[in-house]
Structure 1
Amino acid sequence: MYIGEQLINPTEARLRLSAQLGAQGIVVDTRPNVQLLDASGRWDPAKVAEQRKFVERFGLRLEVMAVDIGSILLDSLYNRERAAATAEGIRQDIRAAAAGGVTTLKYNVQMVGITRTGVAQGRGGVSCSAFNAAEYDPACDAQFSYWGVGHPDSNREDSDEPVNAIGTPEACGQVLGSSIPGVTEEQGWQALEYFVEQVMPTAEKEGVRLAGHPHDPAYPPGGLNGVNHVVGSLAGIRRFLDIAPANASHGLNFCQGTVAEMSDDPNGIVQEAIREFGGRKRIFMVHFRNIKGGYLDFREAFPDEGDVDMAASIRSYRSVGYDGILCPDHVPLSDLDPGRERFFAFALGYTRGLLQAA
């Protein structure tokens, strides 16, 4: 295992910093990927290779790129023609990634954003993104949730990250749950089965792994706004993987924070999930993050202050033979670190220390 960073539109200076901090791998989370597009609007293999070589110039590896699946999941329920066109585009992007030398792509199964209801104060007065199902309302959802590649602190004038707003290209097709007819449990599985059936055979043929990020957060029974998060439990993750159990390209962007949010015992469920899904060799990359709280009521946290035993997590990954990248994610927010570079550096150093101690 080794540390790496997940970056949006990485610059030369930012990659130099990653290398100086000891990162070995880079996950490029840019969406939409306009820097990769050809005249038809799909990924150009030569541009994929160019981005890979750009990262390699700094002694880093381009481990993973994000593929923008847009609104294909919702469209598979409500606009099948558009879903079919998107599926063909994703298949083209998978082929281009393979031709450009990138063998892992990540995507998010969110239809309605990463739901949050507010902020909570953390260590030293930092602001932490929070979710409390009992306090949910659509106005808080629109204000505090993560939309696509945005994050709740990126709407400041001094931010160099994408604006966090519904309706922007960077929102990646995610919409406010109250604006759509709803997604029943049955429809949720229909949408995921459609996606897997449409793209996984191409990924397997091209030797590209697709790392799916589970639903964040777990929703209460019946969902919110009539939208169900079906991949919001271990049983849901298990069923998701079992849509194509023999396809080695079908796996997880294993987000520790998201898994921890699925239970009142966040540490217990994370260790269980690592053993099960890591044992199945379906963990393709890790968001190594932590939370305070648990199911339906939590806040994000620095990796060393949350309720998940991060040292135990390292031991669990090693026990199942996981040897891939560990990326910090969702660090707290502060006006003292507007670009979050110091907080991400802290998370990287903490993770590196755990690896050395283990």
Structure 2
Amino acid sequence: MYVGTQLSGGMLEEFGDAHLRQLAQLGLYHVCIDPIGAPRDWTRDLLARHIERVDAGGLKLDMVQLPLASLNIDTQNIDKVSSPAIVLGQGDERDRQIEGICRLIEDLAALGVHSAKYNFSYLGVPRTQSERGRGGALVPTFRADQITNADDLTSAGRVTADQFWERITYFLERVIPVAEANKVRLACHPNDPMTPPNYRGIEDSVISHVEGLKRFVSIAESPYHGLNFCQGTIGESLENPREEIADVIRWFGTRGKIFNVHFRNIKGKRFSFTEVFPDDGDMDMAHSLRVYKESGVDCMIMPDHVPEIDGQAPFETAFAFCYGYIIALFQANGWDPYGR
């Protein structure tokens, strides 16, 4: 268990190699990256170049984001979504896209990268109007009673819970055996957040809540099939996040189903919350970290979804605070946060 972070290819293009060096200077070593380009462009050579670039910055590529991040599906950007036929259940094209994912898993293993994460979502990350948090920071917010687009269907149309499960199962039954054969752990991010029934035509966002995630990890059971355990998203699905989160961590952690942790806090509960800094929310993050450790979790612990703050480098500053907070929690317990 060690501190880490995630980078998109777009971030690398915006911030450059200096950002990689900055991460190393802040004490990070392990990173996840989302390569630039369409899925068909993700060749072994491209992945090798990313590994070399990360290594040159003093870091290690620990995980890759698979091109299965079907976020914000709508009629305007459906062509920009990664591997849409998989989540839409579209026949032969679905099979071709799954084959591409399988080849990518094989390439990752050949290059020594043994973890990958992905999303299986129709709704993206719905939020209502942001609110003001500590010191006036702008905090992402979801209030179900403020939703204005509940009846606006996505390009997926109406999706029943049974259809959602069929598409998940179809994918997992074909991909998990390849992951197991290549010893690559696949970590699925829960749908963020749990939404009311039939929101935008989705009967139930089935992998946004604990009971659905328990069913999810039981499909195509394998030690290489688990979760990108987003503590923020899980907390968003609970009625009492502070009291309930430890038991949820233990359930998945002791079963070896946590492959990456988004160490994120919230204020609020199911259908009504804000996303805040890890020290400023309802969940006891120091206690949570101890529960991860006690449950045998072995993966990156990383920030996600920081508030928007003031200053000349608000994004980098906010994440730097989170890195320092996580490292301090490790050291307060006498644990090595670096995982080298």
Q: Quote the offset at 1:258 in angstroms.
A: 0.4
Equivalent in the alignment of 2:183: 207
Equivalent in the alignment of 1:81: 92
Q: Quote the offset at 1:339 in angstroms.
A: 4.8
CA contact (8 A) 2:87 2:121 kept: no
Matches of 1:68 and 1:251, distance apart in 2: 17
Judged with a 3 Å threshold, the aligned counterparts in structure 2 of structure 1 residues 119 and 203 are, in CA distance, closer, same or farther, namely same
1:273 is aligned to 2:248: yes
Equivalent in the alignment of 1:47: 46
Give the superposed CA RMSD.
1.9
How high is the TM-score relative to the length of structure 2? Answer: 0.87
Matches of 1:283 and 1:131, distance apart in 2: 25
Letter in 1 for 2:324: G
Matches of 1:181 and 1:72, distance apart in 2: 14
Equivalent in the alignment of 2:308: 333
Judged with a 3 Å threshold, the aligned counterparts in structure 2 of structure 1 residues 34 and 179 are, in CA distance, closer, same or farther, namely closer
Q: Quote the offset at 1:323 in angstroms.
A: 3.0
SS of corresponding position for 2:140: strand
Q: Quote the offset at 1:23 in angstroms.
A: 0.8
Matches of 1:126 and 1:315, distance apart in 2: 28
CA contact (8 A) 1:286 1:326 kept: yes
Deviations along 1:82-111, whole A, 9 cap, x unmatched? 211211111111111112221111101212
Matches of 1:208 and 1:49, distance apart in 2: 16
Q: Quote the offset at 1:57 in angstroms.
A: 2.3
Equivalent in the alignment of 2:133: 122
Equivalent in the alignment of 2:18: 13
CA contact (8 A) 2:21 2:58 kept: no
Q: Quote the offset at 1:178 in angstroms.
A: 4.0
Equivalent in the alignment of 1:219: 195
Matches of 1:179 and 1:48, distance apart in 2: 31
Matches of 1:13 and 1:108, distance apart in 2: 29
Equivalent in the alignment of 1:28: 33
Matches of 2:20 and 2:249, distance apart in 1: 29
CA contact (8 A) 1:3 1:351 kept: yes
Letter in 2 for 1:329: D
Moved more, 57-66 or 325-334: 57-66
Gaps of 5+ in 1: 142-175
Q: Structure 2 residue aligned with 1:100, among 102, 111, 131?
A: 111
SS of corresponding position for 1:34: coil
Gaps of 5+ in 2: 69-81, 334-340
Matches of 1:332 and 1:43, distance apart in 2: 32
Matches of 2:178 and 2:298, distance apart in 1: 25
How high is the TM-score relative to the length of structure 1? Answer: 0.83
Equivalent in the alignment of 2:71: none
CA contact (8 A) 1:2 1:24 kept: no
Q: Quote the offset at 1:336 in angstroms.
A: 2.2
Letter in 1 for 2:49: E
Q: Quote the offset at 1:16 in angstroms.
A: 0.4
- Count of aligned residue pairs for this structure pair: 313
